[in-house]
Structure formats: structure tokens, C-alpha cells
Structure 1
Amino acid sequence: MADSETKPLDWRRWGGLGQAALNGVFGDYLARRGNPLAIEMDFYHQRRPLPLDETLALRSGLVLSNKIVVLLHGLTNLESIWDIKPRQAEAVMEPKPDNYGLRLQRDFGYTPLFLRYNSGLPVRENGLRFSQLMTRLFAAYPLEIDEVILIGFSMGGLVMRSAQKSADLSDAPWLPKLKRCFYIGSPHEGSPFEQMGHRFSAFVREFPRDYINQWADWIDGRSEGIRDLRQGLDPAPPVAPGRGFYPGARHCFISGSVSPNNGSLINKLVGDSLVTQASAHPRAAPADSRFAHFEGVPHIPLAHSNRVYRQIQQWCEEDALAGGSPPLRQTISLTPVAAPEAAMWRDGRLAAGVVDLLADGYLQTVGAVESMHRAIARDPQEVLARIPLVWPVARVVDESHKGVAGVVYGSLKLGGKLVQGGTRFVAGRWAGKRSDGRHREDDDPTVDN
């Protein structure tokens, strides 16, 4: 292919995906540290956060109706996980955006909203934040919302469930409008891979050598969000059916599998590669729930599969025919105001977050190597201490070794702390609010305006 035909690398898109992956693995840590890489929960449209204020209709560019569908991505994902790839014949042209949300807008008139969130935070914390964000949306929306549909992929389904509980406890205004919930590949009863990670960490921690068992701390450094997937929201023994699900909505559960062969051993062991069918179809599901299973559709493709959408479409049509869906009453469509010019602080803020994370990783590594070094050196010293003729000389050597090691590792740590202090100062220069009154952390630093 000629160089002139080569598409330029969309580094902002890849930067966003990298940020999402970091949030999935270390998101709770990033949030505690105030690192600029930590994602703030918001609704997104065309990779930009939506303003939940009186300018929503003018600045969003969305066609707003009285019916909305909210799509929640999974662990380490962005809202781009929902994008359906164009067919081969369409790929040669500029592809039009396509996903479950846009198809539901086309077929039923729902306004699609895509949630972006820090998937490394605990599921219950994200559920609470999502419920609060939905309340803000209802206050800012220019129309009365008659119906809400939620679609959650993987962890997103657990966040949906947790949000229902939070909304019920706080009498949130959006909950009575919730009519249908679709849980796609969600580990309601846990994920076998996180369960294996937990067992492996426990095994390493019990190893009788300090220079081995200390690495369990590194394994356990994975985020609270990941660790929440060990048991999901329905740990054994099973709770009463329907508990934790809003009774005013219809709940639909969708699962997939690696192999197209029904009943194969690999499907029973790993399900869709991350979630088994039993976990995706929980025993706690309400009695009137719907279930669908797709052999040969692995975990990630469940979020953008034509087969899965046809099932969602069929269930929505059945509810519409049964009178379970309010009619499309009104829509608002305005030409969006031009987005403001890109602010120069964004790239600096993003770079500061990356350097701060690297510096902290460096400090953690130096600390681990120091501990391993001292643990390895301790074993021969304990043997020499039992030999009276050798120990006086060995003790001098040991003390000298500890002094030199302390200076070396102390210098290495000091360098890392200086770098960290510099990056925090740089990041702090961009803290606060922008001239338009919005918080700077509400923006996506990986997007060009």
C-alpha cells in the first residue's frame, strides 16, 4: 500500500484505550492519588463528555426524546467497545458509527447515552455514582423522560444492579422510569479468572521464602474493581430470586461461549473466555426474567454482535406490542454549538499523570528489589551466625553490606520521589476550573476539540 494511502495513527484514540486499561487495573489507586489519569464518570457522545446543565440540548448534538437507553461498558473498556464493525463491502468507505444504542434509536426512537467510568473502583461505588449521575441527567434533561433502558456489558451489568439498589435506598427519580435491563456477559456469580488470580496470590503469599512471598503484594495490587469480580454480586449460597433487581423492570440476561459446539468442555470451564453461562444467568434472577445464550460468541464480541442485537430488538418489539413501552412523544434536535478550541493544558496534564504513574511504579519496583535483596542476603548470614570462628568477620561484612545497600537504594528512591514531586506540581497547575466554569477533570484529555 502506498504511503499516501496509509491511515495516520489515531494516537488520541489509543491513548484513551490505554487510559481505560490503566483505570481497570489500577483505577482505585489512581483515584486515591489524585492522578490525572483517573477517569471521572460521565455520559459521553463522540468521545466528549455531555454537559448536564441547561446547555445539554444545544451542545450535545443529540436527538433527544422522551425515551433513553444508557449503555455501560465493562472492565478496562471505553464506550467504543460497543462499536459494530462495518461489513467488508462497507469498510472501503468512511464507516458510519454503528452500535446497539444507535440501532435502538433508529428502530424505537431511544436517545442513546454512553457511560464512561473508572472501572477499577469498587462496583458498589460506581453504582452509587451512576445513580447520582442519572439523577443529575433527569434534572438537566429538557424533556420529561418516560422510559429508561439500561444495557450493561460485563462489569457494566454489575454496576447497573448496584445502581438500582442505591437508587431504591435514596428514592432516586429515575428508578420508577426503568423498564428494561439487559445484562450482557455479566459475572453475577463471579469470574473464574479472578477466582484463579485470588488462589494464585494466596499460594504465593504462603511460600516460605520472603523473596518469593512478597510478590503476592504485587498480585494483590490489582484494583478493587477486578477483585469484586471474584464473587460478583451473588456469592454462594444463592439469595432469594429477584433480590437486588428493581421489580418494576424486566431483566434480560445474555451469555456467550468460546466454542460453537453446544455442551463442549471448554464452554463449561471458561464460558465466553471470562464469564461462564451459569454466572451470566444468575440464580438470583427474578422469576419473569428472559435468558439468551449464543454459542460461538466470546466475551468481547458480545458487546457488538449482530446476533445479540437481534435478540435485544426482538425483546423490545415484544414489549412494545404488549404495551410495555410508552410511545415516542417528542424529540428535540438542535445543531450543536461549535466546540471550544483545544486547551494546551490537556497534553501536559496527561503527560504529568503518566510520569507520576511511572515514577510510582519505579519506586515500588526499587522497594521490591531492595526487600528481595535483603531477604536473599539474610539466609547465608543466618548460617554464618552459627559458626563462632567465622561470625565476627561475617558480621562486619554484613553491616558494611547493609550500609552500602541502604545508600544505594535510598538514592534510587530519592530520585523517584523528586520526579513524583515535580509531576504533582505540574498537574496541580491545571487543577481547578476552566474559564467556562466546568471542572477541568470533567474533560477527556485524550480528545481534541
Structure 2
Amino acid sequence: SRLPGIFAAPTTEPARGITGFVYRSIRGVTRKVGVGIDAVLRSVTPESAPDSSLQREVLLAALNGVVGDHLLATDNPLRITMSLRRDGVPLELTPGALSETIAQPSGRILVLAHGLCMSDLQWCRRGHDHGAALAADAGFTPVYLHYNSGLHISTNGREFSALLEALVAAWPVAVEQLVIIGYSMGGLIARSACEAARRSDRAWLGHLRDLVFIGTPHDGSPLERTGNRLDALLGASPYTAALSRVGKLRSAGITDLRHANLDDSEWLDHDRFAGQLQRRQALPLPENVRCHAVAGSLSKRSGALAERLAGDGLVPLYSALGQHRSPRRNLGLPESRRHVAYATSHLGLLDSPEVYARLHAWLNPANRSEEQAETAG
């Protein structure tokens, strides 16, 4: 007799042959998924992480990106607690502590927010750190956000906003300028933080002068959308539903990247594995803040076809530049505040001399005399 297709109703007869073997294997995966993740996490303790501080940070950051919401829900000691850091050390946000920790802080604060599955220490790539370079060349004092990237973007955004409020209030010298640079997911966290600050009337937002997005998926991640469609396809079949459960281990932070969710309303009381684009909110950029976007392209040259097809390997060009066919979702950044680095991958944006030159041109006050009369938007 003909074997049932994968989307047929489940049969009561035991499956035989190779079909039976596959089905039994899938059922085995089903039983192991529920307990497997906790068993694995119990075997990885803070003490068992690599001796190298950087290796340990990288391991824990990746783990938090993939299952960070689960780590928080189970009160696992491997979870990352959000903090602002320098050289991997959390800052105590009081004037006295900041004066002792930061030698000669300037009035220009630069806050850098890393991407998914990353640590603040990974801003340094191949000996270059955009934050440290801007400190040396433009007089900024860099501070690095360290966060659990497996949590919802809006959850992290709200907590980031509270930390920025405490940072500005405790800064030991008068704040002249606050700048945020967000890499990849970090740019979305920054946008969500700005919206949270607007709604709660946070003072720090009034100090924000520039917001720079580097490789930020403003229109979401095609890779996450593809994974979600595969989950839905697998979940529709009684024979492959177990594999869908494996895919559903991915964190809230990852699923938020599907459509770049920035607001609680986009996931509250909603199955986050269901792809409902209509729930997405079109949140505007913060007012009176100069916003800039850097995109990478694997293409070696500019051109209509290249710009349509070639992103940085993870984020499409249009998404990183905040461009969208819908006027509600198009960020409307002027050409002078958009830059494409060709022959540059997603990770390559972190140490690209071209990208740094653009950051320096945008952010160094000495280079901005021509913009002093411009109305920020």
C-alpha cells in the first residue's frame, strides 16, 4: 500500500522500513529536546568555561544569543545581566566610581551596542575598535553595552534606556554630546531604547546627538524569516513536527529579528513563532537626532543589480540602509547619512578602514562645521 505523505493525517499503523526508521528517529528527537537543553546547560558552568577571558566571553555571549531567554527564565548562572562596561569590566554608575574608573572622561560620551550572540569585547576585531579609535581621534569617551541578546529587543531596549539615564546622571563632567553606535541587532536595541525613553520622558534622550547604525537589519532578517517558514512547514506534518520543535529552541531575540520587532505589542500575547507581519509597528527614528546608516555589500562595485541582490552576507542592503517600499517603514535617511562599504562582509564592518573613516567624518566635531546650521532629523 502507498505510504502516507508527510502532510497526511497520522496513521495508526506502525511505519515500516526506512520510513519507520526516520519516524522513530524524529520521535526520539522529540523526547530529547525538552530535557536536552537543560542537561547540556547543567554541564556548562561558569567554572567550566575556557580559561581565556575572551574565549569565555565569546562562548557565553553566543549561548545567551541562542537560548538567553531560557537562561533567564530558569535563573541559570550562565545568563548575562545587562551592564555598561569598559575593558570587559562593569561600570558602577555613580559620579565617584566613574571618576575613579575612567581617567579624564570627556563631555562626549560614545556608547557602543554589539550584535546578536556577541560580547562587547568583540568590538575589537583584528586590532581595531571603532570606539577606541574615535576616543583617540575625536575625543570621545567610549562605553560598551553588554547584554543578553536572546531576550526580546523591546525588553533590552527598555533596560538600555534605564542604564543610559543612570549613566548621564552620574557622568562626572558636563555632558556635551551623547552618541550611540549600534552594530547589527545593537542598532535595533538602540532604536527601541529611544522609543522607550520618549514614552517615559527620559532625560538622556535630550543629550543624544547622533545615532549610527552599522549593518542593522531595520527590515528584519531574511534568514530568520526562512527559518520560521521552515518551522511552519515542518510543524504542519505529524511526521516532522518534532523537527519544528528543535527549531523553536531559538531565542526571543532571534525571532524578533524576523521583522525587526522593536515594541512589546509585536510579541505580547502572541505566538512568536507565527509569522504575522501585520503586528509590526512602524516606529519612527528619534526626533532632533542625526541618524546615520552604514551597510556592507559583498559586491565589489555599485550597480542596480548588485545593490538589489548583494548585502553583507547576513543583512540585505536595503534593510541596512532603512529603505522600504512602504513610506511608513522607510526611515528616510538622506544620502549624506547613508554609506555602503563594498567588498565588505557583515563582520568586516567592524574593522573596515572605510567604515571607520565614515564614522569619523560623521561624528568628529571638527569635520562638522558645515552641518551646524542643519536641522537634525
Q: TM-score range by the shorter chain?
A: 0.7 to 0.9
Partner of 2:183: 153
Paired residue type of 1:15 = R
TM-score (norm 2): 0.74
Q: C-alpha distance in 1, partners of 2:255/2:281? A: 21
How far apart are residue 155 of structure 1 and its match? Answer: 0.1
Q: C-alpha distance in 2, partners of 1:169/1:279? A: 26
The percent identity for this pair of structures is 34
Q: C-alpha distance in 1, partners of 2:225/2:151? A: 18
How far apart are residue 183 of structure 1 and its match? Answer: 0.3
Partner of 2:13: none
Partner of 1:75: 116
Superposition pairs for residues 223-372 of structure 1, below 5 Å? 223-233=251-261, 243-263=283-303, 268-269=308-309, 271-283=311-323, 284-286=330-332, 288=334, 290-317=337-364, 320-322=368-370, 324=372
Partner of 1:34: 75
Q: Deviations over 1:331-371 (max 9, x none)?
A: xxxxxxxxxxxxxxxxxxxxxxxxxxxxxxxxxxxxxxxxx
Question: Of 170, 182, 187, which residue of structure 1 is paired with 2:212?
Answer: 182
Secondary structure of residue in 2 paired with 1:55: helix
The answer as to whether partners of 1:250 and 1:288 remain within 8 angstroms in 2 is no
Q: Deviations over 1:349-400 (max 9, x none)?
A: xxxxxxxxxxxxxxxxxxxxxxxxxxxxxxxxxxxxxxxxxxxxxxxxxxxx
Listed as ranges, the gaps of 5+ residues in structure 2 are 1-49, 263-276, 324-329
Q: C-alpha distance in 1, partners of 2:279/2:200? A: 28
Taking structure 1 as reference, are residues 153 and 265 closer, same or farther at Cα in structure 2, changes over 3 Å only?
Answer: same
The answer as to whether partners of 2:110 and 2:180 remain within 8 angstroms in 1 is yes
Q: Deviations over 1:179-231 (max 9, x none)?
A: 1111000001011111111011111101232xx21221220110010001101
The answer as to whether partners of 1:245 and 1:286 remain within 8 angstroms in 2 is no
Question: Of 147, 160, 174, which residue of structure 2 is paired with 1:144?
Answer: 174
How far apart are residue 263 of structure 1 and its match? Answer: 4.3
How far apart are residue 62 of structure 1 and its match? Answer: 3.8
How far apart are residue 16 of structure 1 and its match? Answer: 1.2
How far apart are residue 67 of structure 1 and its match? Answer: 1.0
Q: C-alpha distance in 2, partners of 1:266/1:81? A: 29
How far apart are residue 103 of structure 1 and its match? Answer: 1.6
Secondary structure of residue in 1 paired with 2:118: coil
Q: C-alpha distance in 2, partners of 1:260/1:13? A: 33
Q: Deviations over 1:394-414 (max 9, x none)?
A: xxxxxxxxxxxxxxxxxxxxx
Q: C-alpha distance in 1, partners of 2:182/2:333? A: 20
The answer as to whether partners of 1:30 and 1:37 remain within 8 angstroms in 2 is yes
Partner of 2:53: 12
Q: C-alpha distance in 1, partners of 2:370/2:338? A: 19
Q: Deviations over 1:135-180 (max 9, x none)?
A: 1112221122121001000000000100000000111110011111
Taking structure 1 as reference, are residues 204 and 265 closer, same or farther at Cα in structure 2, changes over 3 Å only?
Answer: farther
Partner of 1:217: 245
How far apart are residue 275 of structure 1 and its match? Answer: 0.4
Taking structure 1 as reference, are residues 84 and 22 closer, same or farther at Cα in structure 2, changes over 3 Å only?
Answer: closer
How far apart are residue 299 of structure 1 and its match? Answer: 0.4
Partner of 1:439: none
Q: C-alpha distance in 2, partners of 1:307/1:278? A: 19
Q: Deviations over 1:212-266 (max 9, x none)?
A: 21221220110010001101148679987xx421111111011001232434978
Paired residue type of 2:343 = G
Q: C-alpha distance in 2, partners of 1:236/1:154? A: 23
Q: C-alpha distance in 1, partners of 2:311/2:331? A: 19
How far apart are residue 269 of structure 1 and its match? Answer: 4.3
How far apart are residue 287 of structure 1 and its match? Answer: 5.1
Paired residue type of 1:296 = A
Secondary structure of residue in 2 paired with 1:152: strand
Alignment partner of 1:66 is 2:107? yes
The answer as to whether partners of 2:111 and 2:181 remain within 8 angstroms in 1 is yes
How far apart are residue 288 of structure 1 and its match? Answer: 4.3
The answer as to whether partners of 2:211 and 2:291 remain within 8 angstroms in 1 is yes
Q: C-alpha distance in 1, partners of 2:176/2:163? A: 17
Q: C-alpha distance in 1, partners of 2:156/2:317? A: 24
Taking structure 1 as reference, are residues 267 and 222 closer, same or farther at Cα in structure 2, changes over 3 Å only?
Answer: farther
Q: Deviations over 1:64-115 (max 9, x none)?
A: 11110100000001112221424xxxxxxxxxxx411112112221110011
Q: C-alpha distance in 1, partners of 2:296/2:217? A: 12
How far apart are residue 301 of structure 1 and its match? Answer: 1.3
Partner of 2:15: none
Alignment partner of 1:165 is 2:195? yes
* Number of equivalenced pairs: 302
Partner of 2:41: none
Secondary structure of residue in 2 paired with 1:214: helix
Question: Of 149, 155, 165, which residue of structure 2 is paired with 1:135?
Answer: 165
- Provide the aligned C-alpha RMSD in A: 2.4
Secondary structure of residue in 1 paired with 2:340: strand
The answer as to whether partners of 1:62 and 1:111 remain within 8 angstroms in 2 is no
Superposition pairs for residues 188-199 of structure 1, below 5 Å? 188-199=218-229
Q: C-alpha distance in 1, partners of 2:309/2:230? A: 18
